[in-house]
Amino acid sequence: MALSFKCDTGISRYLQLKAPHVEGFSLVNDENETPRDLLAKAKVLVIGAGGLGCEILKNLAMSGFNDIHVIDMDTIDLSNLNRQFLFRKDDVSKPKAEVAAAFIRRRSPHVSITSHFKRIQEMPEEFYLDFTLIICGLDSIEARRWINALVCGMVEEHGFKGFKPIIDGGTEGLRGNARVILPSINACLDCGLDLYSKKVTYPICTIANTPRLPEHCIEWASVLEWARIFPDKKLDGDDPDHINWVVEKAAARAADFNIPGINYSLAQGVVKNIIPAIASTNAIVAAACTNEALKVVTTCNPYLDNYMFYSGLEGVYMFSFPYARNPDCLVCGKKAGSLSLSANTTLEDLITALRESPVFQLRAPTLSLGQTNLYFQKPKELEELTRPNLAKSIGELFESGSTLTVTDPTLTTSLSVTVTFCS
């Protein structure tokens, strides 16, 4: 398979050279594919077409990736234009994914680029199964955790076919990071959940009684006053009427307490928890992400193991380290076991088995199956509700091969127990 576009000369040379740092590197793999072939057939999904996404899409198209998909649920805002360079003033309020894809298509007609103006949660698992690799340029932890949990589940269910490395980029002002997540091999996103800084919050009594900062007044208006005046309406940080209302209330309160500095952009910043985005940070992190994607897809050079941190706060500082897996991670560290019992066994006997078996040695196991509670040890209300299940046979409660989620005081997190029925 030949690469047939103009900007590939640099990449092409690079992919044909023997990489200096790779042990046993060969220009063809066991399937007789060269790094160039692997690059040409890679199908990459970019999640997010914002500050990082625009950079990543441009980089991918210029690096020889042929089949790119982009998904984003957002529309373009005027304030995006300073750094999200695939968008123009006329594009404001159009879907980011579509406009970004159209721009790439115009500039690099040889690249196949497909856009999805959707939430990632709306796409089925089959959609994700189709990709070689996923690159995330997201600003939300929630979305990251969703895709991480999906990908970690896929690898357990489908093996290599469901193995989708995630290259995750993130920026916050002048700081950023890029990481290579290889599901079931290295640390997943939930393993390092503690790394994320949380939303700045102020004690509610300070907001209510002793404001000292303009932010306190804005929180007072947006958290306390809004809920009091509009108990059934959710505050929308993107609705100018809502923010203007907050500004008005906050300004009046700030005047009472002699606090200067209330304005629209600060109010929106506090309500939406906006951290200013900086174009150069995005460019650096996106470059690192694309570079890792290229290396993972083609194996032309060693890829990042597995976390790179960048800070431009004082000078320029970067370092990388292997972030360790968390054995108690709720997503990828779940311990698992299996039991084989007769379908006539009661749930109570199953619980006894979990307590007495030398493998499990649990103390007071609580069991659920998906959304269904099988037995709760506590609180009293749930115990009473689920107690009738104890006398039921497991054949009545679930099918053979079901995987139960078990929690117990002896476990740091949880245990998955697959129960098969023996005759």
Partner 1 sequence: MLKIWAQRKDDAQKNKSVVPPYRIRLQKDLSELADDPTTRLEFANTSDQTKFTVVYQPPGGLYHGGEFKFSFEVSEEYPHKPPKVLCVQKIYHPNIDTDGHVCLNVLREDWKPVLSIQSIIFGLHLLFMAPNPEDPLNNDAAQNMINDPTGFKMNVTTSMRGGNVMNAKYECVLAPTPAHSKGRR
Q: Which residues bind partner 1 (CB under 8 A)?
A: 29-31, 38, 132, 141-142, 145, 149-150, 152-153, 156-157, 160, 163, 165, 182, 184-185, 190, 193-194, 196, 198-199, 201-205, 208-209, 224, 227-228, 296-297, 299, 330-331, 334-338, 364, 366, 368, 370-373, 376-382, 385, 403, 405, 407, 409, 411, 413-414, 416, 418
Q: Tell me whether residue 153 or residue 312 sits nearer to partner 1 (CB atom).
A: 153
CA torsion through residues 361, 366, 368, 371, sign: negative
CA dihedral 257, 261, 264, 268 (to 10 degrees): -80
Instruction: Give the 3-state secondary structure of residue 295.
Output: helix
Examine the residue annotation and report whether 205 is marked as an active-site residue of this protein: yes
The CB-of-272 to partner 1 minimum distance in angstroms stands at 16
CB-CB contact of 73 with 119 (8 Å): yes
Separation of alpha carbons 42 and 182, rounded Å: 17
Q: Tell me whether residue 14 or residue 303 sits nearer to partner 1 (CB atom).
A: 303
Instruction: Give the 3-state secondary structure of residue 277.
Output: strand
Separation of alpha carbons 152 and 325, rounded Å: 13
The CB-of-344 to partner 1 minimum distance in angstroms stands at 24
Q: Which residues contact 258 (CB under 8 A, 6 or more apart)?
A: none
Q: Tell me whether residue 282 or residue 366 sits nearer to partner 1 (CB atom).
A: 366
Q: Which residues contact 416 (CB under 8 A, 6 or more apart)?
A: 334, 335, 336, 337, 403, 404, 405, 406
The CB-of-259 to partner 1 minimum distance in angstroms stands at 18
The CB-of-194 to partner 1 minimum distance in angstroms stands at 7
Separation of alpha carbons 252 and 259, rounded Å: 10
| Token pair belonging to 148 | 């991480």
Phi, psi (deg, nearest 5) at residue 163:
-85, 105
Catalytic-labelled residue, pool 152, 188, 191, 205: 205
The CB-of-275 to partner 1 minimum distance in angstroms stands at 17
Separation of alpha carbons 202 and 212, rounded Å: 11
Q: Tell me whether residue 8 or residue 219 sits nearer to partner 1 (CB atom).
A: 219
CB-CB contact of 338 with 415 (8 Å): no
Separation of alpha carbons 175 and 311, rounded Å: 4
Q: Tell me whether residue 129 or residue 316 sits nearer to partner 1 (CB atom).
A: 129
Separation of alpha carbons 193 and 180, rounded Å: 15
CA torsion through residues 101, 104, 105, 109, sign: negative
The CA distances from residue 250 to 215, 254, 260, 271, in Å, are 9, 6, 11, 12
Per the omega criterion (within 30 degrees of 0), is the bond before 20 cis?
Answer: no
DSSP track, 17-42: SPPTT-TT--SS-TTS--HHHHHHH-
Q: Tell me whether residue 105 or residue 325 sits nearer to partner 1 (CB atom).
A: 325
10 Å Cβ neighbour count for 373? Answer: 14
The CB-of-115 to partner 1 minimum distance in angstroms stands at 25
CB-CB contact of 143 with 50 (8 Å): no
Q: Tell me whether residue 4 or residue 32 sits nearer to partner 1 (CB atom).
A: 32
Q: Tell me whether residue 201 or residue 342 sits nearer to partner 1 (CB atom).
A: 201
Q: Which residues are the active-site residues?
A: 205
